[in-house]
Amino acid sequence: MSALEKTPETTAESRTPLMTLAGVSQVFDTKAGPIRAVDNIDLSVNPGEVLCLVGESGSGKTTAARMAAGLARPTDGKVEFAGNDIWSMNRSDFGRFRRGVQYVHQDPYASLNPTRTILQTITAPLLKHRVVKGNKAAADKAAELLTKVDLTPPENYLPKFPHQLSGGQRQRVSVARALTLDPKLIIADESTSMLDVSIRISVLAMLGRLRDDLGVGFLFITHDLAIAKYFGWNGKTAVMYLGRIVEFGPTPKIINAPTHPYTRALIDAIPEPDPDLTKTKGRESLRSLEIPSLAHLPSGCSFHPRCPLFEDGLCDGEVPQLVEIRPGQSAACHVVARDGAGEVRPDEPVA
Ligand SMILES: Nc1ncnc2c1ncn2[C@@H]1O[C@H](COP(=O)(O)OP(=O)(O)OP(=O)(O)O)[C@@H](O)[C@H]1O
């Protein structure tokens, strides 16, 4: 049996994370010079766990996700699946890894083949990878998967082409296709951001049910902390800024008791009148709204030109490392590392 056939849940070493990014960086050559879209990040997702990756546009979330999915090779660092370095795997193990990690894109229209019916879209991987034998069994399985993503009755959807479906229905088809190969990890990259609010909520609810019923791990990417709160409350959240992780911890702590000034600013930016989120609002205001270019990163902490806690000579010197501020919650901030983030207020319901 190959090392990959033993899933982490079924082995004695059940503490092995499903997915690990260890010291991973990605450098792109651009006209403005080389940019570190992802700079030395460490992340891991345990079997069945949700890890939310949150940050503004351009913070490096998709680049990190593409490396986790094996779609891009890191410039530095290691990507491991079930404890195995994916870039040292032989072809068949790499294929098994790729089947175990499924990517659901932001734009389902771009990721679905417009010339294939939904039946063809779902049955193609089932037949190619011999999950089932024969067209009849594949069609039955496709119907079962559409039912799982609430496209019912499935026979109404199987003969249709992507353009005949709404955005929310197309995204459900993308999720059904991601489930065909019984993945261990789903990477959902802004999977609901293009949908209208009411449809977004119903697709999120469907994803939440799959998360609970299938025990599959999620790397859930969003620019919106309110969505991370909704989907990843029982999991962990990493906040990215300009290619680096600036805060990491259990989602309730990140939402209700953020320590990094950038996380606090993100929470301030949430327009929704959410009483939990507004509790932490209005603590400090940013010194600048301008996001620096990755090609000309500020020295030291790259958040320092915007940061309300900025201290001359401290914040513009060294790059701050992630250090534990409260149990299980770490932040990369010189000032918070030195002064602490204060006690969690009694009215902050930290799980
Ligand atoms: N192939 C590439 N070549 C050059 N630069 C790239 C490439 N891919 C991404 N980048 C740059 O890397 C940075 C991070 O991009 P990335 O898409 O990972 O961010 P993101 O947080 O996912 O943002 P968004 O939500 O807008 O997709 C951006 O400045 C982007 O322009």
Residue 211 has phi, psi (to 5 degrees) of: -55, -45
DSSP SS3 for 327: coil
Nearest 5°: the CA angle 177, 18, 123 is 15
Measured in Å, residue 62 CA sits from the centre of ligand 1 at: 7
Rg (the chain; Cα; Å):
21
DSSP SS3 for 169: helix
More confident residue, 94 or 198: 94
Instruction: For ligand 1, say whether the CB of 25 is within 6 Å of any of its atoms.
Output: no
Determine the Cα–Cα distance for residues 52 and 157; give it in Å rounded to an integer.
31
- Answer yes or no: is pLDDT of 193 > 80: no
Instruction: For ligand 1, say whether the CB of 27 is within 6 Å of any of its atoms.
Output: no
Which pLDDT does position 235 carry in this prediction? 95
- Answer yes or no: is pLDDT of 103 > 80: yes
> Could you tell me which residues come within 8 angstroms of residue 278 by beta carbon, excluding any fewer than 6 positions away?
none
Nearest to 125 by CA among 168, 180, 44, 84: 180
- Architecture of the domain delimited by 235-351: 3-Layer(aba) Sandwich (3.40)
DSSP SS3 for 73: coil
> Could you tell me which residues come within 8 angstroms of residue 26 by beta carbon, excluding any fewer than 6 positions away?
36, 37, 38, 60, 63, 64, 67, 72, 74, 75
Which pLDDT does position 81 carry in this prediction? 96
Tokens of 58: 């351009």
Which pLDDT does position 6 carry in this prediction? 47
- Answer yes or no: is pLDDT of 279 > 60: no
Determine the Cα–Cα distance for residues 227 and 193; give it in Å rounded to an integer.
10
Measured in Å, residue 222 CA sits from the centre of ligand 1 at: 14
- Average the pLDDT over 286-308 and give the result: 91
Determine the Cα–Cα distance for residues 92 and 86; give it in Å rounded to an integer.
11
Range of weakest confidence among 193-202, 212-221, 255-264 = 193-202
Q: What is the pLDDT of residues 129-187, one digit of tens each?
A: 999 999 999 999 999 999 999 999 999 999 999 999 998 999 999 999 999 999 999 99
Instruction: For ligand 1, say whether the CB of 62 is within 6 Å of any of its atoms.
Output: yes
Atom 1 in ligand 1: residue holding the nearest Cα: 28
The answer to whether the peptide bond before residue 153 is cis (omega within 30 degrees of 0) is yes
Q: What is the pLDDT of residues 227-241, one digit of tens each?
A: 999 899 999 999 999
Instruction: For ligand 1, say whether the CB of 60 is within 6 Å of any of its atoms.
Output: yes
Measured in Å, residue 294 CA sits from the centre of ligand 1 at: 10
- Answer yes or no: is pLDDT of 245 > 50: yes
Which pLDDT does position 159 carry in this prediction? 97
Amino acid at 296: H
DSSP SS3 for 147: helix
Which pLDDT does position 126 carry in this prediction? 96
More confident residue, 341 or 136: 136
Q: What is the pLDDT of residues 287-296, one digit of tens each?
A: 888 888 899 9
Tokens of 87: 């870039």
Which pLDDT does position 190 carry in this prediction? 83
Instruction: For ligand 1, say whether the CB of 185 is within 6 Å of any of its atoms.
Output: no
- Average the pLDDT over 26-43 and give the result: 94
Instruction: For ligand 1, say whether the CB of 180 is within 6 Å of any of its atoms.
Output: no
Please report, for the chain, the start and end positions of each structural domain, with discontinuous segments joined by +: 235-351
DSSP SS3 for 274: coil
Asked if 104 and 46 touch (Cβ cutoff 8 Å), the reply is: no
Residue 220 has phi, psi (to 5 degrees) of: -110, 115
pTM, to two decimals = 0.89
- Answer yes or no: is pLDDT of 346 > 60: no
- Answer yes or no: is pLDDT of 90 > 50: yes
Measured in Å, residue 37 CA sits from the centre of ligand 1 at: 6
Written as one string, the DSSP assignment of 84-120 is: EEGGG--HHHHHHHHHHEEEE-S-HHHHS-TTS-HHH
Atom 3 in ligand 1: residue holding the nearest Cα: 28
